[in-house]
Amino acid sequence: MEIINNILYGFSVSLQPINLLYCLVGVFIGSLVGVLPGLGPVASISMLLPVAFRIPTPTSALIMLAGIYYGAQYGGSTTSILVNIPGEASTIVTCIDGYQMARQGRAGPALGIAAFGSFIAGTLAVVGLTLMAPPLAHYALRFGPPEYASLMFFAFTILNYIARESIVKAFMMAGLGLMLGVVGMDFMTGQHRFSYGILALEDGLGIVPVVMGLYGISEVLINIEETAIRPVFKSKISGLLPNRQDWKESIGPIGRGSIIGFFFGILPGGGPVIPPFISYAIEKRISKHPERFGHGAIAGVAGPESANNAGVTSAFIPMLTLGIPATATMAVLLGALIMLGVQPGPLLMQKAPEIFWGTVTSMYTGNVMLLVLNLPLIALWVKVLKVPYPILFPLILLLCLIGVYSIHNTFIDIIIMNVFGIVGYLVKKMGYEGGPFILAFILGPLFENSLRQSLMMSKGSFSIFYARPICLIILIVAFAMIVSPLILRKRVRIGDDTR
């Protein structure tokens, strides 16, 4: 009964006209972001953080930012099917069969099943989020500073899974994030650290200029180098509603993809990227006609598209209930909430139920909006794809400059953003990733404060971490997550040597 009351309360918040408007704005921008290859939800959310801080309530701001995130998955399928270029990393698999369907004159059913599959999976994932989050948060209410410190330590171990390339480079970027995260005033002693007498650094480096530079500016610099012309699919797109046979071949992949995406999205580093690959592999394995995959199988579109949308939604569970971002995008959203004066975690449902339940229920309406928006706007998205990037990037840069200056009206924020834009460009060119840096930059100060409070409670003894059962369990799991990739790699090397 309590869960029903919470849902009704959430709808009373999310269905307010102002929140419906921000939800519509978020999912529309998200769809546009997904259509434009190379931009991505992380860069887009980073660039729109200044706008979010001008929104009257944190609930409306989070509803809009969340809409951008899951809306980008819808738009990414359009680019994959019509251009054979993934709008998002999570829609790479959609290119395989989606573009082949378009070449066979079936772009309409491919786009239609991608939209319907995304809607069904997103809705089912929101139901799962609604049911799983409250008991998880209720159990986590037993947390004190030692448990939070252990939880933050556990969050750092997901660097193994966020890193797409070198783990060593990921930890190097995390180390840099930790160093820069402690710049500014020490909250316990009041002393300034690493500010070197520079007044602008005494309050620390702002999350917004750092994130906007690392993702927004660097993405522009990277994309300016890309001179490839996008060959947009030119045939007339018709028949967006899948026929009975299409539904017969797709309903199973949609269901399985939703389940795969939901549970992998909860895991650290899972998010929307890994589930589509797993879904595609499973569908091809169990199909009666695996030879069709790669040549326009509609199941190869329905399954992965359902998986990535379910993964996006379920990634909100650890972020909202525990304060642990499972992906780089969730880390940026976590930073946005902190800047808005909201602390995600076990107490969020009690201290700010309007934010939690308002955001969760807005995803129901957001999925309906995306379904209604994306099918009629296919023609518009095709025109957007034809806009040359040299016209787009000055507008993106202008948005970044105006946005970051509008927060504190200081020129130093623009300098910080540009510096991190150049740093972001260089590290990406050298094979480093921004996700581990952002994760450590945001969580580092939280971990430091919890650790110091814990040691003050125990008078300097680290025994407090293994004397408390919850701390001990979290630390055991954390060390297991650190060691398991090393063991797996060692076994792979042994297997290669025996061959």
Residues 262-288 pLDDT 10s: 887 776 555 666 788 778 888 888 888
Tens of pLDDT, residues 96-115: 788 888 878 788 888 888 88
For the chain, what percent of residues have pLDDT higher than 90? 4
The more confidently predicted of residues 10 and 242 is 10
The more confidently predicted of residues 146 and 395 is 146
At 486, phi and psi to the nearest 5?
-65, -40
Taking residues 437-451, report their average pLDDT. 83
Residue 140: band (very low, low, confident or very high) from pLDDT cuts 50, 70, 90 = low
Taking residues 301-313, report their average pLDDT. 86
User: Rounded CA gap, 255 and 418, in Å?
Assistant: 45
User: Rounded CA gap, 174 and 476, in Å?
Assistant: 21
Residue 126: band (very low, low, confident or very high) from pLDDT cuts 50, 70, 90 = confident
Q: How far is CA 379 from CA 153, 231, 236, in A?
A: 48, 15, 9
Give the 3-state DSSP-derived string for 132-197, with helices as H, strands as E and coil as C: HHHHHHHHHHHCCHHHHHHHHHHHHHCHHHHCCCCHHHHHHHHHHHHHHHCCEECCCCCCEECCCC
- Strand 192-193 vs strand 184-185: parallel, antiparallel, or unpaired? antiparallel
Taking residues 153-175, report their average pLDDT. 76
For the chain, what percent of residues have pLDDT higher than 70? 85
Query: What are the respective helix, strand and coil percentages of the chain, to the nearest 5?
Result: 75, 0, 25
Burial class (CB in 10 A: 0-12, 13-18, 19+), 247: middle
Mean pLDDT of the chain: 80
Contact by Cβ (8 Å): 115, 367: no
The pLDDT value recorded for residue 18 is 93
pLDDT at 145 over 80: yes
The pLDDT value recorded for residue 349 is 79
The pLDDT value recorded for residue 17 is 93
Residue 24: band (very low, low, confident or very high) from pLDDT cuts 50, 70, 90 = very high
Contact by Cβ (8 Å): 71, 312: no
Residue 16: band (very low, low, confident or very high) from pLDDT cuts 50, 70, 90 = very high
Tens of pLDDT, residues 371-403: 888 777 777 777 776 677 677 778 778 777 877
Tens of pLDDT, residues 31-45: 887 777 656 677 778
- Neighbouring-strand partners of residue 185: 192
Where are the chain's structural domains? 2-498
Q: Quick one: tokens of 88?
A: 């998002």
Contact by Cβ (8 Å): 241, 112: yes
196-200, 448-452, 459-463, 474-478: the lowest-pLDDT one: 196-200
The pLDDT value recorded for residue 21 is 93
Residue 22: band (very low, low, confident or very high) from pLDDT cuts 50, 70, 90 = very high
The pTM is what? Answer: 0.70
The pLDDT value recorded for residue 19 is 93
The pLDDT value recorded for residue 273 is 66
